[in-house]
Chain A
Amino acid sequence: MDIAASILAEAVRAGTPLMLATLGEIYCERSGVLNLGLDGVMTMGALAGFAVTWLTGSVWIGLAAAILVGGLFSLIHAFTSISLGVNQTVSGLALAMLGTGVSSLLGAKYVGQPLRDRLPILQIPVLSEIPLAGGFFCHDPVVYLGMILSILMWFILFKTRLGIIVRAVGEKPEAADAAGVNVYFVRYFCVFLGGVLGGLGGAYVTLSYTPGWREGVMMGRGWIALALTIFSLWNPLGSLIGAYLFGGVEVLQFHLQEYGVPASLLGALPYVSTIIVLVASSLGLLRKKLGAPAALGVPYRREG
């Protein structure tokens, strides 16, 4: 593989956790629920994935555990924001703190432990030999799953009846309700899905990208994914671009170190980029007169 392809491959790997989390958050926000707890959800998934892999010796069971834990953990937020109708920003923030705290409390004994099983690498014949673009086709199954999901989830959201229902619930919940849609159920489901993908994204960090568990392993990826959700204009295909772009920023950070730029300053690059991306997408939204789902963050209460 040539150098350009291997750098691209690094960016794709770095972008995968962001992409999975962003995809989940897109569905969550499309249904009208803002889950600011994403970083906590990802961290819980990261620990569950690593710990269960360590205990069972199987990375597949680890991934399944991460998915389950991420989904269940985000149901806390579903309950407070959908059933109780509380301030979603504060509830999400509480979830983020809780996820960080609980995972480092329960994860203390796994710090420094080796990863006992690895995801297999599936080189796709012919495609992985293409100069540059080969960097997309030399990965483990989770990377491919992310790519497939972004297309599949785009298709479902914009081309199927299911997608119309999700979007209607996030834009005009009263109308959806009047048409016989169970608004609460759809929102619960989308928050759960967001948690599932957030957990999977988190587990990808500890099981593949930077194998191993330590406190602070998520490095704010959940918050970056929240920004990418806006950057993608709540479109799953957009998350593909945004996530790989940020994967590129992360890789750039390592390569610039070789030129003597201090690592601590380079470490700020993803966060500075996030703010720049937020500004750029807001300007874009303003110009195109686009916006977030109309009912985003607004609790729904059935009249009567």
Chain B
Amino acid sequence: MEIRLERRPTVSRRINISVRILAILFSLPFIGLLFAAYGVNPVDAYLRIFTGGFGSPYGFSETIVKTLPIGLCAVGLTFAYKARVLNIGAEGQLIMGSIAATWVALYSGLPQSVITIIMLLAGFTIGALWALLPAVLKSELNINEVIVTLMMNYISLKLLDYAVTGPWRGLTQWGFPQTDPFPSYARFPVIGGTRIHYYTLALLLVSTLILYVLMKRTKIGYEIRIVGSNPEAAKYAGISVNRNILLVMLVSGGLAGIAGVGEAAGIHGRLIRGISPGYGYTAIIPAWLGGLDPLGTIVASFFISGLMVGSDAIQVSLRLPSSLVYVFNGVILLFIVSSEVLARYRILFKIGGRKIWI
């Protein structure tokens, strides 16, 4: 018997989706081993996670609440990753968006009627600007954007820390590292009985659709795909690689910034040190899991958000640390990226004279 890898002639959508589902199915037992190492029954843990995230109206609404920031970041990231610009900085871009929103809400003195729209614009702009430096360094000096965006994340965390412990520390907050609450007109309304802030929800859906159309139906999307798959060919075709790097970074940074506005104005109603429990990092997973397709990414964001809500639930009931979510992220990402081999290649078994492909 002989086993060989052969490149698939074409990669169908069906194969792409089934390979990803397979990756999820294979990663769950691995995380189960870690549960076991921690002295927790894996089956019990998974049941609690899934019922926690999807099994009740409350869990379901909380899953949507988390889908808002994760989805906004992830959809933006698909755009960047399609162009093979590996923006890992959504976390920092989100934090900067929340800082911008806080300034507008508490210190700008703008009239009530325009405050919401200005918060969103400021969040988008600051998020985009925070992505601009790594973009320019990549396009002009060929500096690895992964390292720079990560450094920008650390820097934004320190700025956030400075803001909430220093000049912006709330006078009415008993010394907690957070600002005073936003005035009611600077808070995003929610769907009754839930924490779903629907301005952000609407923006998530609209931006997903826009990016989907942009990616599939326009010249911009075509150029981005070429830049990502074959930069040399792009240059010969007269496509500016640098301009596309800037574009995708600005868009993904801006959307992450809006996610930050949503967290500050829709969830906490103030700026707090823990404004993001790693949403920007978590968003990397659904971007890949969704096959770098905005629609697939929204579905994947919902799924990952559910895992996150469920993990929160077992953190309390089984007393696990909050870093559990990074274990999920790491294992799932590892399996997704490995499973891409299965999407690109098929395994050929030669038994006697017969050939079998998988």
Spell out A's residues near B (CB within 8 Å): 36, 40, 76, 80, 84-87, 89-91, 93-102, 104-106, 108, 215, 220, 223, 226-227, 230, 262, 264-265, 267-268, 271-272, 274-275, 278-279, 282-283, 286
Which residues from chain B sit less than 8 Å from chain A, CB to CB? 34, 37-38, 86, 88, 133, 137, 141-144, 146-148, 150-152, 154-155, 158-159, 161-162, 165-166, 281, 284, 288, 320-321, 323-331, 333-334, 337-338, 340-341
Ordered by A's residue number, 25 sampled pairs between the chains whose C-beta atoms are within 8 Å are: A76-B334, A86-B338, A87-B337, A90-B333, A95-B334, A97-B326, A98-B329, A98-B331, A101-B328, A101-B329, A102-B34, A105-B34, A105-B324, A106-B37, A220-B151, A226-B144, A227-B151, A262-B162, A262-B166, A264-B161, A264-B166, A268-B159, A275-B133, A275-B152, A283-B141
B86 and A89 contact, CB distance less than 8 A: yes
Contacts A76-B334, A105-B38, A278-B143 given: A267-B151 contact, CB under 8 Å? no
Q: Which chain B residues lie closer than 8 Å to A84 at the CB level?
A: 338, 341
List chain A residues, Cβ under 8 A from B38. Answer: 105-106
Query: Contacting A105 at CB < 8 Å: which of B143, B144, B158, B327?
Result: B327
- Residues from chain A with Cβ under 8 Å of B148 in the complex: 275, 278
Contacts of A36 in B (CB 8 A): 146
Chain B residues near A97: list those with CB within 8 A.
281, 326, 329-330, 333
Majority-rule SS of B interface residues: helix
Given A86-B338, A94-B334, is A220 in contact with B323 using a C-beta cutoff of 8 Å? no
Number of A-B contacts (CB under 8 A): 138
Shortest beta-carbon contacts, A-B, top 3: A98-B330, A101-B326, A101-B327
Closest chain B residue to A275, Cβ basis = B151
Central interface residue in B143, B144, B161, B330, by most chain A CB within 10 Å:
B330
Q: Are B327 and A274 in contact (CB under 8 A)?
A: no
Question: Which residue of A93, A102, A265, A282 is within 8 Å of B146 (Cβ)?
Answer: A93
A212 CB to nearest B CB, Å: 16
Assuming A86-B341, A264-B166, is B150 touching A220 (CB within 8 A)? Answer: yes
- Give complex CA distance A54, B217 in Å: 60
Tell me the complex Cα distance, A282–B144, Å.
10
Q: Which of B86, B154, B330, B337 contacts A80 (CB 8 A)?
A: B337
Q: Is the CB of A271 within 8 A of B321?
A: no
Give A106 to B35 CA distance when docked, in angstroms: 10
Q: State the Cβ distance, B109 to closest chain A Cβ, in Å.
A: 26
Which residue of B86, B321, B329 contacts A104 across the interface (Cβ within 8 Å)? B321
Distance (whole angstroms) from the CB of A291 to the closest CB of chain B? 9
Question: Nearest chain A CB to B258's CB is how many angstroms away?
Answer: 24
Q: Given known contacts A101-B326, A104-B323, A282-B142, is B154 in contact with A271 (CB within 8 Å)?
A: yes
Q: Which of B142, B150, B330 is the one whose CB lies under 8 Å from A102?
A: B330
With both beta carbons as reference points, the residue of chain A lying nearest to B30 in the complex is identified as A98
Which residues of B are found within 8 Å of A98, using beta-carbon distances?
326-327, 329-331, 334
Q: How far is the CB of A101 from chain B (nearest CB, A)?
A: 3
B162–A279 CB distance below 8 A = no
Q: How far is the CB of B182 from chain A (nearest CB, A)?
A: 22
Checking B141, B154, B320, B333 against A268 with a beta-carbon cut-off of 8 angstroms, the contacting residue is: B154
Q: What is the CA–CA distance of A282 and B88 in the complex, to the nearest angstrom? A: 20
CA distance A96 to B146 in the complex (A): 12
Task: List 20 extra interface pairs beyond A93-B86, A264-B162, CB under 8 A.
Answer: A91-B334, A93-B88, A93-B146, A94-B329, A97-B326, A101-B323, A101-B327, A101-B329, A105-B38, A105-B327, A106-B37, A227-B151, A230-B144, A262-B165, A268-B155, A275-B148, A278-B143, A278-B144, A279-B137, A282-B143
Residues in chain A near residue B143, CB distance under 8 A: 278-279, 282
